Chains A and B, each alone.
Chain A
Amino acid sequence: MAMRRAALLATSSVTGLVLLLSLKPHHTTPSAPAGTGSGAATSSPTPGSGTGHSSGASGGAGATGTFTGAVEQTPYGPVQIAVTLSHGELTKVRALQTPSGASRSRAISGYAVPTLTREALGAQSAHIQAVSGASYTSEGYTQSLQSALDKAGA
C-alpha cells in the first residue's frame, strides 16, 4: 500500500498535499531578529519587507498591487511566489516557480516509512527520545514525560 501511494505520488500531478509540502516558501534563513529581511533579491518589493509599495499605494491606506517574492531555495528546489494585495488585504497568492517533478520525487523517495508499535508502556521501558501528545502548557510541561526525558538527558 505504501509503495503504491509513493509511486502514485511520484508520477501524478500535484495534489493538494504535495502542493502544501513542496511549495512551501522556506526561506533559507529566517529573518534576523533585528528585522533585516533576508534574501530579497528581486526587483519588485517583497511582501511585508516594508521597503516599498507598488504604484498607486500610499503607506497608510494599505498597499495595492502584486508583490513578487525572492526566489527561495527549498529542499525541493527553487520556489517563488507572488502575493496580490488590495488595500493591504491579501487577495491572491500565486506560485511563479515551483520545484520540478523530478526533484520532488527525489525528495519523497528518500523518506523512510515510519513504523507504529502499539504497546502500553511506561516511558522508562520504551527507550524513547520524545513524547508527542496534546499540546501542553508551560505548567503542564513539568508533569510531562517529555520533562522527565529532558532531565534524564541533560
Chain B
Amino acid sequence: MPDTPEGYDVPETATSAEGLRGLRHVEHAMGTVFSFDIRDAPTRAVRHALDRAVAWLHQVDEVFSTYRPGSQISRLSRGEITLADCDRDVAEVLWLCENAERLTDGWFSRAPGGRLDPTGLVKGWAIERASVILERAGARNTCVNGGGDVQLRGECAPGVPWRVGIACPARPGQLCALVTGRDLAVATSGTAERGAHILDPHTGRPADSGLLSITLVGRHLTDIDVCATAAFAMGPRARAWVESLPGVEAFAVTSDSHTWWTRGFPGVAGSSSSSVTWPV
C-alpha cells in the first residue's frame, strides 16, 4: 500500500465498501495450514462456500490420510475394503495418479514407499477443488494456499495480478523470486521444511536431486503439484522435462546456491538469458 500523503482523505468508498475487504480464513488440516484469501464481496453464498471448502479439506483428510488407520485409503491399502466400497473421490484420485505416473515417466508414484499412498497428489487436488467450490459460489478472485502450494483465481484487485513470493530455501523468511499472474497454480517442492521426504520412486531412497527447491507454475494445482514433486526427484533432468510441458514453467534453486528457470517465463528481471546463474 503506498503511503497516503498527509492531509489526503482516502475516499470513503475505497475503504468502507465491504466488497473490497473480501474474506480471509486460516484452517489447520491435513498436517498443514490452509490460507484462504477471497477478494470478492463476502456475500452469504461466498461465506457458505468457504465453510464448505473448509469442510471439504477435513473430509479429504478423513478419506485419504495415510496417518489415520481407519481412513478409506489405509483400509484399501490393507485390503480390508475395495475401491467399490470407497467414496467416488478415491477412484478419481487413483485415476489421476495413474495419469500423473504416465506424465512424469514414473517420477511421480502413487506408491512411493511400496505402499499405496496418493498423498503426493491429494493435497494439490484438494486445494484446487476448494478453489472451485469458491468459484462456483461467485468468488472469482481467490487465493488458496495449502502449506506453500497455491491456487490463484482471477486477480487480487481489479486490474492487478496476484503476486506470489517464492521462499528462499537457504534463507528462511526471505524470498528469492516473485511470480506474477492471473489464474495461476504455483507449487514448490524441496527439502527445506520437511527434510529429505521426497523419494526417488525408481530406487525407493530419498531423491538426491542437486536441488534445494523447485517451483512449478501453471494453471491447475493438481497437475502442477505432482509435476513439482516429480521434477524435484528428477533433479538435473527436470529442466528439459519442464520445457517439454506446454503451459508449465519452472524456477529452481540448486544445492550449490544457483538458480535456473525455464524459457517461457517472460520478462525475467535482471537478465535476458535464462542460463545466467544467480547466487542465492
- Measured CB to CB, the residues of B under 8 A from A are 24, 26, 28, 31-33, 35, 37, 52, 55-56, 58-59, 81-92, 94-96, 98-100, 102-103, 123, 129, 132-133, 136, 143, 145, 147-150, 152, 156, 161-169, 172-184, 186-194, 213, 215, 217, 219-220, 222-223, 245-249, 251, 259, 261, 263-271, 278, 280
On whether A47 and B91 interact (CB within 8 A), knowing A118-B259, A133-B192, the answer reads: yes
Contacts of B156 in A (CB 8 A): 129
Query: By the criterion of a CB under 8 Å from any partner CB, how many residues of chain A are at the interface?
Result: 84
On whether A21 and B145 interact (CB within 8 A), knowing A6-B246, A50-B85, A131-B175, the answer reads: no
A112 x B133 contact (CB < 8 A): no
A-B contact pairs, 30 of them (CB 8 A): A15-B246, A17-B246, A20-B100, A48-B88, A48-B90, A50-B84, A57-B84, A83-B95, A85-B84, A88-B81, A89-B82, A93-B98, A113-B181, A114-B179, A126-B165, A128-B175, A129-B163, A131-B164, A132-B188, A132-B215, A134-B190, A135-B123, A137-B147, A137-B194, A144-B167, A145-B165, A145-B175, A146-B145, A147-B33, A150-B35
B88 x A69 contact (CB < 8 A): yes
Which 7 pairs between the two chains have the least Cβ-Cβ distance? A88-B82, A133-B167, A114-B181, A134-B190, A62-B82, A116-B265, A63-B84
Contacts of A53 in B (CB 8 A): 84
B33 x A141 contact (CB < 8 A): yes
On whether A130 and B33 interact (CB within 8 A), knowing A26-B132, A115-B267, the answer reads: no
On whether A31 and B88 interact (CB within 8 A), knowing A133-B148, A140-B193, the answer reads: yes
Task: From the candidates B178, B188, B247, B248, name the one contacting A117 in the complex (CB within 8 A).
Answer: B178
The smallest beta-carbon distance between A3 and chain B, in angstroms, is 10
Tell whether A90 is near chain B: CB-to-CB under 8 Å. yes
The smallest beta-carbon distance between A149 and chain B, in angstroms, is 8
B174 x A120 contact (CB < 8 A): yes
A132 x B165 contact (CB < 8 A): yes
Cα A20 to Cα B218 in complex, Å, equals 13
Contacts of A57 in B (CB 8 A): 84
A25 x B92 contact (CB < 8 A): yes
A138 x B175 contact (CB < 8 A): no
On whether A90 and B91 interact (CB within 8 A), knowing A15-B246, A50-B84, A130-B162, the answer reads: yes
The secondary-structure label for the interface of chain B is: mixed
On whether A9 and B148 interact (CB within 8 A), knowing A134-B169, A135-B193, the answer reads: no
Cα A9 to Cα B219 in complex, Å, equals 14
A21 x B271 contact (CB < 8 A): no
Contacts of A20 in B (CB 8 A): 96, 99-100, 103, 223
Contacts of B88 in A (CB 8 A): 27, 31, 37, 40, 46-49, 69
Contacts of A69 in B (CB 8 A): 88, 91
Other A-B pairs, 4, CB within 8 Å; known A115-B268, A137-B193? A111-B247, A117-B180, A126-B175, A128-B175
Cα A15 to Cα B124 in complex, Å, equals 21
A141 x B152 contact (CB < 8 A): no
The smallest beta-carbon distance between B268 and chain A, in angstroms, is 5
Tell whether A28 is near chain B: CB-to-CB under 8 Å. yes
Task: From the candidates A48, A88, A113, A136, name the one contacting B33 in the complex (CB within 8 A).
Answer: A136
A85 x B222 contact (CB < 8 A): no
Contacts of B178 in A (CB 8 A): 116-117, 119, 121, 126, 128
Cα A93 to Cα B95 in complex, Å, equals 7
On whether A136 and B175 interact (CB within 8 A), knowing A18-B246, A30-B56, the answer reads: no
A17 x B247 contact (CB < 8 A): yes
Minimal Cβ-Cβ distance residue in A for B30: A138
Task: From the candidates B86, B98, B219, B269, name the one contacting A48 in the complex (CB within 8 A).
Answer: B86
Tell whether A19 is near chain B: CB-to-CB under 8 Å. yes
B265 x A115 contact (CB < 8 A): yes
Contacts of A28 in B (CB 8 A): 136
